[in-house]
Amino acid sequence: MLPDDTRCKIENIVAGVILEGGTDSCTAIRNSLCSRFATSRMGKANFESSAIIKKEQELFIEAYCDTHGFWLQHHPAENRYLTRGGEDRIYLDNDNRHVIKLNDAIYYATWLEFLNSILLHNLIFTNTSYRLLGFIKQDDILYAALEQVFVIASAQAELYDIKKFLDFNEFENIRRNDFANRWLT
């Protein structure tokens, strides 16, 4: 079960509360977005109507990157390309210990929802946490550049084990492989 302080942090992220004391780039840009845009818990339900907000947030992020020098300076080399995973293009970092994921947030209704999901992932899955390196724009598409430790799996994750972990942390299977947590909704 997640500790109470982690639950409190999760609730604050989901509620759009400005996170005090966070020094990482993801928290900083997320807090900036929160000061201008409301956090929505209904992202998937309003996915299409959120396109306008997502575009406004994209422009906000671009201005943020201009002001704070947060554009990714070195694009991963094509000879380091590993694979594409849904929304990510994945490259092996030069140190051979990390991967760089270029994510266009296509599965998220807004960029704020995307950044919240990164912070939530980092709280729950600390051993595979992400570090936001910056943003890059290619072919008129904005990508977040994320660094993550390169994981060599000894076996594929089994759906049963994932469901058991989610159940232990009070997530309910609401349909297919979608889960919700009653204290977050």
Is residue 21 classed as helix, strand or coil in its secondary structure? coil
Q: Which pTM does this prediction carry?
A: 0.84
CA distance 102 to 5: 31
Neighbours of 139 (CB within 10 A): 5
Per-residue pLDDT band at 46 (split at 50, 70, 90): low
pLDDT at 61 exceeding the cut of 60? yes
pLDDT digits (tens, 9 = 90+) for 111-166: 999 999 999 999 988 999 999 999 999 999 999 999 999 988 888 888 888 888 88
Whether residue 185 is predicted with pLDDT greater than 60 in this model: the reply is no
The closest alpha carbon to 43, from 140, 116, 146, 152, belongs to 116
% of residues, the chain, pLDDT over 90? 61
Whether pLDDT at 45 is above 60: no
pLDDT tens, position by position, 24-40 = 999 999 999 999 998 76
CB 5 within 8 A of CB 172: no
Are 50 and 110 within 8 A, CB to CB? yes
The predicted structure's pLDDT at residue 138: 93
pLDDT of residue 183: 64
pLDDT band at 100 (very low <50, low <70, confident <90, very high): very high
Residue 93 has pLDDT above 70, yes or no: yes
Residues shown for the chain: 185
Count helices and strands (H / E) in the chain: 5, 7
- How many CB atoms neighbour CB 172 within 10 A? 12
